């Protein structure tokens, strides 16, 4: 009897425990937004009507003839076409003009209402051109927008919507497309400045298009032990669960190099995904929802693995740009930055937000929060004194004595308030280019900048002498050196502890675009003007947007490492701040939303390969001295030396493959993602850098 009474109670207890355990295990699952796969351009747009299929013998397209245009002739070609019987062949000759040189072909296409775009099939000859549309609106204003699509050899579909994310000039100058609009031309831009070459390309089936609407079939993904940034330690296991309205879920996990880690499939009601991170690097898991035998939704879970889940190294040379000062970054992004080994970042606390009442200064709450976290993490921020204030010069560029005095007072107060937390300041951002000041009044040439820099530098250094104050504010463009010299003429050569430029190269590689040559030439001219300090590159980067000027995430990673090494090799660059840490938005065809080394917070700040590549570079070279750069043709090998005498070689090619032989005692080798390689003396180099570590290393090509 005693047993009969006690057994049910024990059973109830066991059932309660089991139920509680199941509920606890179920509660460990958290939804995670995964990155949608990019569709090919031909899948993103649908045809509204034909603009020209080149089937008739009469050719209505003409090349633009101007001093900026390459020599261009057009032909109807019946021997090469995407469909039908003929296409438009464009024969070109680039002669290496110093400023601008491009092809522009003009045809008839009208756009009566918003929501339309232009699409066409293009066959290139292997030259990596960039393509844009020029549209003229009803006011006569010209708008230039980028095209989506691949620029690889063979027939590729190119398309672009008409939108306001464009550069514009002429007409009423309002920056909006005032309908009806018409096609001004298709612009085919050279791959790099100074490009010389002849060849042909073909265009076919030009059409008015609109964005395609898709049936919503959402793949839902959950993860266990969700962590911000999808950042793991080597040896951990990733566990996901995927479900959606379909029949099946298929998945494949790979590393950066495309090597498969694991794969599987299961019912769409819920399939568990699991793979182990047995080495450092960047990893992706492709998840496909299948319905009626076809993929209807494809997502990517991206993650990274570091030894112990954190990179302890630091670099005085490398930092990243961020937007905490615009209240656009989750605060924990700073912790993520530090885990990747980055402790220098460039941000801002703008004049307008700091002096909201004239003569009264206060940190915005979000600025105080990110500076406090920065101090707790012992980060080293470079803050920008920037942009206008509505209390001075009608909210325009500070030109008047009163506005210059107001800007100087703001800079001094901010420098004093943040002393001990902020060791570096930069005076303005892209003054001459007008960044952040579009349509604002005032003079913004080099001389006007110098008149602002001189008193600002003197006052800030007097108030806080141990600060580093960076001048010039990230000048860029074809007349970069001349604009810097204009500022030096009015500010004087001693009004800066460093000077900054923004030598963006994308989509060109750092080698083909002569990054080293350009930066060195600018530095030489600045030094000749009496400036004794070194250059800081306070912005440079490669956006991964899906237009002809975008880079793949893998190319961004390769170019990141190669750019950093090449800039260090100049001997004139003291610091580089990569633009930027995180994607700033979700529009995949907009460059400004896709510069990040990690994805937008909507996708949990998941890594791109570039952040891992930068982390590995910092770990292997951050505490080392740069010694030299060897080059043979398209092959490069940089040599670093640590305090213990250990050498690090970073080697790659600008294009193609090349052989490298090393002398000395080789101890280890590491790939771009931090994975171990076999330490050998002979290497077949590619565009993806490798690291070789050892003693007394010497390079032979």
pLDDT (0 to 100) of residue 438: 79
pLDDT (0 to 100) of residue 468: 99
Residues 263 and 343 placed together within one structural domain of the fold: no
Residues 92 and 174 placed together within one structural domain of the fold: yes
Residue 575 has pLDDT above 60, yes or no: yes
Reduced 3-state DSSP string for 348-391: ECCHHHHCCECCECCCCHHHHHHHHHHHHCCCEEEEEECCCCCC
Residue 202 has pLDDT above 80, yes or no: yes
Confidence band, pLDDT 50/70/90 cuts, at residue 146: confident
Is 36 within a domain?
Answer: no
Out of 159-173, 329-343, 397-411, 632-646, pick the least confident.
Answer: 159-173
Residue 52 has pLDDT above 80, yes or no: yes
Residue 216 has pLDDT above 80, yes or no: no
Is the pTM higher than 0.85? yes
pLDDT (0 to 100) of residue 310: 78
Phi then psi for residue 499, to 5 deg, are -130, 145
> Radius of gyration over alpha carbons of the chain, in Å?
28
CA 338 and chain centroid, separation: 19
Last residue of a domain, one of 154, 178, 211: 211
Residues 566 and 463 placed together within one structural domain of the fold: yes
pLDDT (0 to 100) of residue 607: 99
- Which residues constitute the domain of residue 1? 1-29
Is 248 within a domain?
Answer: yes
Residue 7 has pLDDT above 50, yes or no: no
Task: Find the mean pLDDT for residues 598-602.
Answer: 98
Task: Find the mean pLDDT for residues 86-99.
Answer: 94
Q: Between 169 and 8, name the one with better pLDDT.
A: 169
How many whole angstroms separate alpha carbon 566 and alpha carbon 578? 14
pLDDT tens digit string along 189-198? 998 888 999 9
Among residues 353, 360, 335, the alpha carbon closest in space to that of 345 is found at 335
Confidence band, pLDDT 50/70/90 cuts, at residue 144: very high
Residues 677 and 633 placed together within one structural domain of the fold: yes
Residues 178 and 134 placed together within one structural domain of the fold: yes
Q: What is the CATH number of the domain that holds 260?
A: 2.60.40.2550
Long-range pairs of 390-395 with CB within 8 A, sequence gap ≥ 24: 390/352, 391/355, 391/358, 393/441, 393/442, 394/441, 395/440, 395/441
Residue 152 has pLDDT above 80, yes or no: no
Residues 21 and 51 placed together within one structural domain of the fold: no
Residues 513 and 565 placed together within one structural domain of the fold: yes
For residue 449, what are its two tokens?
């900048």
Task: Find the mean pLDDT for residues 172-182.
Answer: 92
Where in 96-164 does DSSP place strands (E)? 102-106, 110-111, 117-124, 130-136, 142-146, 154-161
Is 256 within a domain?
Answer: yes
Last residue of a domain, one of 159, 176, 211: 211
Residue 482 has pLDDT above 70, yes or no: yes
Q: Is 416 helix (H, G, I), strand (E, B) or coil?
A: helix
The Cα diameter of the chain in Å comes to: 106
Residue 9 has pLDDT above 90, yes or no: no
Residues 329 and 477 placed together within one structural domain of the fold: yes
How many whole angstroms separate alpha carbon 384 and alpha carbon 346? 7
pLDDT > 70 fraction of the chain, expressed in percent and rounded: 96
> What domain count does the chain have?
5
Check if the beta carbon of residue 672 is closer than 8 Å to that of residue 304: no
pLDDT (0 to 100) of residue 27: 67
Is 169 within a domain?
Answer: yes
Residue 249 has pLDDT above 60, yes or no: yes
For the chain, the average pLDDT equals 93
Last residue of a domain, one of 275, 309, 343: 309
How many whole angstroms separate alpha carbon 497 and alpha carbon 132? 40
Check if the beta carbon of residue 535 is closer than 8 Å to that of residue 503: no
Confidence band, pLDDT 50/70/90 cuts, at residue 19: very low
Task: Find the mean pLDDT for residues 25-34.
Answer: 85
Confidence band, pLDDT 50/70/90 cuts, at residue 20: very low
Confidence band, pLDDT 50/70/90 cuts, at residue 334: very high
**Which span out of 43-57, 214-228, 293-307, 400-414 was modeled with the highest average pLDDT?**
400-414
pLDDT tens digit string along 510-557? 999 999 999 999 999 999 999 999 999 999 999 999 888 899 999 999
pLDDT (0 to 100) of residue 11: 41
Residues 617 and 639 placed together within one structural domain of the fold: no
For residue 208, what are its two tokens?
């008015």
Is 349 within a domain?
Answer: yes
Q: What is the dihedral of CA 638, 642, 645, 646, to 10 degrees?
A: -60
pLDDT (0 to 100) of residue 166: 74
Is 35 within a domain?
Answer: no
Residues 285 and 422 placed together within one structural domain of the fold: no
For residue 245, what are its two tokens?
């309205």
pLDDT (0 to 100) of residue 26: 67
Confidence band, pLDDT 50/70/90 cuts, at residue 669: very high
Is 407 within a domain?
Answer: yes
Q: What is the CATH number of the domain that holds 127?
A: 2.60.120.260
pLDDT tens digit string along 257-313? 999 999 999 999 999 999 999 999 999 999 999 998 888 899 999 999 999 877 777
Phi then psi for residue 214, to 5 deg, are -115, 145
pLDDT tens digit string along 423-466? 999 999 999 988 878 789 999 999 999 999 999 999 999 999 99
Residues 547 and 456 placed together within one structural domain of the fold: yes
- Interhelix angle for 446-463 vs 401-417, to 10°? 40
Is 16 within a domain?
Answer: yes
Residue 383 has pLDDT above 90, yes or no: yes
How many whole angstroms separate alpha carbon 60 and alpha carbon 32? 52
Confidence band, pLDDT 50/70/90 cuts, at residue 164: low
Q: What is the CATH number of the domain that holds 508?
A: 3.20.20.80
How many whole angstroms separate alpha carbon 535 and alpha carbon 525? 12
Residue 172 has pLDDT above 60, yes or no: yes
Confidence band, pLDDT 50/70/90 cuts, at residue 2: very low
Residues 282 and 202 placed together within one structural domain of the fold: no
For residue 533, what are its two tokens?
């300090």
């Amino acid at each position: 009897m005693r047993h009969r009474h006690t057994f049910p109670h024990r059973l109830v207890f066991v059932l309660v425990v089991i139920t509680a355990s199941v509920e606890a295990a179920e509660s460990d699952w958290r939804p995670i937004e995964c990155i949608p796969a990019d569709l090919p351009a031909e899948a993103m747009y649908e045809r509204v009507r034909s603009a020209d299929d080149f089937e008739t013998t009469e050719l209505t397209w003409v090349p633009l003839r101007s001093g900026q245009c390459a020599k261009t002739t057009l032909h109807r070609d019946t021997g090469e076409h995407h469909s039908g019987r003929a296409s438009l062949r464009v024969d070109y000759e680039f002669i290496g003009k110093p400023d601008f040189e491009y092809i522009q072909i003009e045809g008839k296409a009208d756009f009566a209402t918003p929501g339309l775009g232009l699409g066409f099939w293009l066959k290139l000859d292997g030259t990596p051109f960039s393509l844009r549309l020029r549209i003229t609106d009803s006011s006569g204003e010209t708008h230039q927008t980028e095209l989506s699509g691949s620029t690889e050899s063979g027939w590729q579909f190119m398309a672009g919507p008409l939108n306001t994310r464009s550069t514009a000039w002429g007409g009423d100058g309002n920056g909006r497309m005032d309908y009806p609009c018409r096609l001004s031309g298709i612009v085919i831009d050279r791959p790099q400045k100074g490009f010389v070459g002849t060849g042909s390309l073909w265009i076919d089936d030009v059409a008015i298009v609109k964005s395609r609407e898709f049936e919503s079939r959402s793949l839902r993904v959950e993860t266990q032990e969700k962590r911000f940034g999808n950042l793991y330690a080597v040896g951990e296991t990733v566990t996901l669960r995927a479900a959606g309205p379909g029949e099946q879920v298929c998945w494949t996990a790979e590393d950066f190099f495309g090597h498969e880690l694991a794969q599987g499939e299961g019912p769409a009601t819920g399939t568990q995904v699991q793979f182990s991170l047995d080495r450092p690097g960047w990893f992706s898991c492709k998840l496909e929802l299948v319905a009626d035998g076809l993929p209807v939704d494809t997502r990517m879970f991206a993650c990274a693995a570091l030894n112990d889940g954190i990179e302890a190294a630091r670099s005085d040379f490398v930092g990243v740009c961020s937007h905490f000062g615009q209240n656009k970054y989750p605060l924990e992004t700073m912790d993520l930055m530090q885990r990747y080994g980055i402790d220098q970042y460039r941000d801002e606390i703008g004049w307008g937000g700091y002096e909201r009442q004239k003569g009264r200064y206060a940190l915005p709450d979000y600025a105080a929060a990110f500076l406090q976290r920065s101090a707790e993490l012992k980060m080293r921020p470079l803050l920008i004194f920037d942009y206008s204030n509505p209390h001075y010069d009608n909210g325009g560029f500070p030109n008047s004595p009163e506005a210059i005095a107001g800007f100087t007072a703001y800079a001094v107060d901010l420098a004093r308030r943040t002393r001990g937390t902020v060791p570096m300041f930069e005076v303005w951002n892209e003054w001459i280019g007008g960044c952040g000041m579009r349509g604002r009044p005032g003079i913004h040439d080099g001389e006007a900048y110098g008149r602002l820099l001189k008193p600002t530098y003197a006052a800030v250094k007097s108030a806080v002498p141990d600060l580093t104050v960076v001048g010039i504010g990230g000048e860029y463009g074809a007349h970069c050196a001349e604009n810097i010299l204009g500022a030096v003429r009015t500010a004087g050569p001693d009004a800066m502890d460093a000077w900054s430029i923004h030598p963006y190269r994308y989509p060109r590689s750092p080698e083909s675009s002569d990054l080293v040559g350009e930066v060195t030439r600018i530095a030489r001219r600045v030094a000749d003007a009496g400036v004794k300090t070194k250059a800081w590159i306070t912005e440079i980067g490669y956006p991964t947007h899906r237009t002809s000027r975008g880079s793949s995430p893998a190319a961004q990673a390769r170019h990141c490492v190669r750019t950093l090494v090449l800039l260090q090799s100049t001997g004139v660059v003291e610091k580089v701040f990569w633009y930027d840490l995180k994607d700033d938005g979700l529009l995949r065809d907009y460059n400004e939303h896709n510069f990040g080394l990690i994805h937008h917070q909507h996708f949990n700040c998941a890594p791109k390969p570039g952040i891992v590549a930068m982390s590995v570079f910092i770990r292997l070279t951050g505490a080392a001295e740069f010694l030299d750069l060897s080059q043979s043709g398209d092959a490069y090998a940089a040599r670093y030396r640590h305090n213990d005498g250990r050498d690090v070689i970073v080697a790659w090619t600008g294009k193609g493959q090349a052989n490298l032989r090393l002398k000395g005692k080789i101890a280890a080798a590491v790939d771009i993602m931090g994975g171990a390689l076999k330490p050998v003396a002979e290497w077949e180099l590619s565009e993806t850098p490798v690291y070789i570590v050892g003693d007394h290393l010497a390079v032979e090509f």
